[in-house]
Amino acid sequence: MEFPDFQHAITLEGNVYFASDFHLENTPESRVREEEIVRWLDGISDHVQHLFLLGDIFDFWFEYKDVVPRGYYSFFAKLAELKKKNVEFYYFTGNHDMWVKDYFAKEFGMRIFRQPTPFIINGKRCLIGHGDGLDKRDKGYLLIKRIFNCRFNIALYGALPPRWAFAIARACSHKSRQSNSSKKKKLNQNEASVMNYIHEYLQHSPADYFIFGHRHRPLEISVNDTVTYYNTGDWLFHKSYLKWTEGGIELKGEN
Ligand SMILES: [Mn+2]
């Protein structure tokens, strides 16, 4: 398990927003969700300077050399508009969109991150990530993640006709969501593993804030007197996000 420290942290200042787990897909329900997200982005467009997308933005994403998945036109149009206003984007890939390659970097100038990464934001040390695979005891998941991240395997998958590739992905994604929603015990275990990671991290390096997604629960947890763990929640149920402006940090959304 790696504990990246703040020696080479990326430093930024200003109005910063964080959101995750939109789980956009090519369905009517997702279109409704997409419009809600676009309205939210529209509402913050006059003062947002940095936008962090903390993963699982798409329920499944796979980009081919000449082709990207259908849909998401309004979302992309809004991102393009924000880019024109010089908003900086930071895209952390999640377990559902780990196969993001260079499309978002090239089209929207996004910086892509695949691991928890240290930032110094408005003077505070923040460790930011999607938040999956933080439990080193979860060997099964970490192995699957390694297999899926292997370049050769990605190339093999890319050789499948898109119709098969997306059918397989849809089946896997729905299965994983079913097992996640039915096992409350697992949810609490996941919470404990995030807290374990944070405590271990703090033994290695000081930090002020830990900001993750993935859990689909908006959370603000005091780790101790000076350290806080925020979870951005999701847009399937909570429409939640983290807002960091001159007034401080606020977790917004439907709880
Ligand atoms: Mn996730």
pLDDT mean over 71-75: 96
Residues 6 or more apart in contact with residue 159 via CB below 8 angstroms: none
Higher confidence at residue 158 or residue 82?
82
Residue 205 Cα to ligand 1 midpoint, Å, equals 25
Q: Is residue 62 part of a domain?
A: yes
Note the pLDDT tens digit of each residue in 84-121: 999 999 999 999 998 899 999 999 999 999 999 999 99
Note the pLDDT tens digit of each residue in 126-137: 999 999 988 777
Lowest mean pLDDT, pick from 28-32, 65-69, 124-128, 219-223: 65-69
Q: Is residue 2 part of a domain?
A: no
Q: Is residue 184 part of a domain?
A: yes
What confidence tier does 25 reach under pLDDT thresholds 50, 70, 90? Answer: very high
Estimate the crossing angle of helix 151-158 against helix 139-149, to 10 degrees: 60
Q: Is residue 218 part of a domain?
A: yes
Q: Is residue 106 part of a domain?
A: yes
Residue 48 Cα to ligand 1 midpoint, Å, equals 24
**CA separation for the pair 58, 27 (Å, rounded):** 12
pLDDT mean over 68-89: 96
Residue 1 confidence (pLDDT): 66
Residue 120 Cα to ligand 1 midpoint, Å, equals 24
Distances in whole angstroms, Cα of residue 29 to Cα of each of 26, 34, 196, 236: 9, 9, 35, 10
Tell me how many domains the chain contains.
1
Whether pLDDT at 235 is above 90: yes
Q: Which of 96, 93, 28 is nearest to 60 (CA)?
A: 96
Q: Which residue has the tokens 């401080």?
A: 248
**CA separation for the pair 28, 25 (Å, rounded):** 9
Q: Is residue 3 part of a domain?
A: no
| Residue/partner pairs of 38-46 with CB below 8 Å, 24 or more apart | 38/74, 38/75, 38/78, 40/239, 40/241, 41/78, 41/79, 41/82, 42/78, 44/17, 44/243, 45/78, 45/81, 45/82, 45/85, 45/87
**CA separation for the pair 191, 134 (Å, rounded):** 10
Residue 141 confidence (pLDDT): 75
Residue 130 Cα to ligand 1 midpoint, Å, equals 7
**CATH number of the domain within which 18 lies:** 3.60.21.10
Q: Is residue 4 part of a domain?
A: no
Residue 58 Cα to ligand 1 midpoint, Å, equals 10
Whether pLDDT at 60 is above 70: yes
Q: Is residue 163 part of a domain?
A: yes
Residue 95 Cα to ligand 1 midpoint, Å, equals 5
Q: Domain of residue 39: give its range.
A: 9-252
**CA separation for the pair 38, 239 (Å, rounded):** 12
- State which H helix or E strand residue 152 sits in: helix 151-158
**CA separation for the pair 166, 8 (Å, rounded):** 38
Residue 129 Cα to ligand 1 midpoint, Å, equals 10
Q: What is the pTM of this model?
A: 0.91
Note the pLDDT tens digit of each residue in 147-195: 777 777 777 777 788 888 888 878 877 766 666 555 555 656 677 889 9
